[in-house]
Amino acid sequence: MRYFAMVAAGATLWGCWSLFLRPAGLSGAQNALLALTAMSLPAPFLLRREALRNKRATAALVVVGLADAANVALFFAAMRNGPVSVAVLTHYLAPLLLALAAPWVLGEQPSTRALVGVPITLAGLAMLILQPGTAFSGLTAALGAGSALFYAAIVLGAKEAARAYSPLAVTSLHAPISVAVLLLYFGAEALPPAMLDAATLRVLVGGAVCGLTGNILFNAGLRRVPTAAAGALTYLEPLTASVVGWAFFAESLTPLGVAGGMLVLAAGAWVAAERRAPSRALLEAAPAPSGTP
C-alpha cells in the first residue's frame, strides 16, 4: 500500500494549488509557465546517457512534455470559457480513459473495479462541485474533454518513461518541453509582469511544493500502481481543492457536497484495494540505471 499512498499524496498536493495561485492573482498561462519553470530547475542535473539510450522511454518523456502543454492550454481555455464546474467535470473524464486505455497501451490487467468505480467517483465529484442552476456549455465540455485526453496521455507516458528515468527525472525533464510549447502558444501572455515580486515567488514555491514534489510522489507510486487505480486516486485532487476552498477561502460546502466527497473517497479506496496480477509493463521493466537519481 506504500505506493498507493504515494500516488494519493501526490494527488492531494495537486489539490493545494489554490493556496499559492489564488493569492498571487496571475493569469492561468502565467501560473502554468512559472510552475513548470520551478519543476524544470533540477533538469540540468538529471540527464543521463544510459537513460537517453532507451529510445522508447525517451520518446515517452517527450510525449509527456507535449501532452502537458496541451493539457494546460485546453484546460485553461475551458476554465476561461466556463462554467468552471463543467470544465472540471469533463477534465476528470481522464481516469475513465486511463481505465480503458491501460490494458491496450501498457498491457496491464483490466480493472473491473476501476471501470465501475470511476463513473461512481465522477458522480461523487459532480455532487461535490455542481451548484443549483449551473449552466452548460458544449464548447467548455469539448475543451475539458480534450484536456482529459492529454491528461491521460501524460499518465501513460510517465509510466512508460519510468522504464529508464527516475520519478524526479520524469517530473523535471519533461517540464522544459512544456515551457517551450506554452511560450509558442501563449506568447507574451504567459510571461509574468515582474520576475521577482511576491506573486511570482509565491507561484514558484507552489511549483516546487505542489508541482515538483507532488509529481515526484505520484510518479514514484505510479511505477508499482496499476494505471487504472492511479487514475481513480487522482480524484483526490478536486476533493482536496474543495476542502481547501472551504477551509481557507470561505467557499460553500453543502451537505450534498460532503456526501459526494465521501463517495469519492470510498470509491477510490475500493478501486485501490483490488487484487491484481503484475502487469506486463512491470514484468518487462528493467530497474533504473544506478546513475539515475
Matching residue, cell 470511476? 118
Q: Are the C-beta atoms of 264 and 128 separated by less than 8 Å? A: yes
Neighbour count for residue 160 (Cβ, 10 Å) = 23
Q: Please state the pTM of the whole predicted model.
A: 0.84
CA distance 26 to 207: 14
C-alpha pair distances (Å), 45 with each of 95, 134, 291, 293: 32, 48, 11, 9
Each residue's pLDDT, cut to its tens digit, for the chain (293 residues) gives 799 999 999 999 999 999 999 899 888 899 999 999 999 999 999 989 999 999 999 999 999 999 999 998 898 888 878 777 788 888 888 888 888 888 888 888 888 888 888 889 889 888 888 777 767 778 888 998 999 999 999 999 999 999 999 999 999 999 999 999 999 999 999 999 988 899 999 999 999 999 999 999 999 999 989 888 898 899 899 889 889 988 998 888 888 889 989 999 898 888 878 776 554 444 444 333 323 33
57 three-class SS: helix
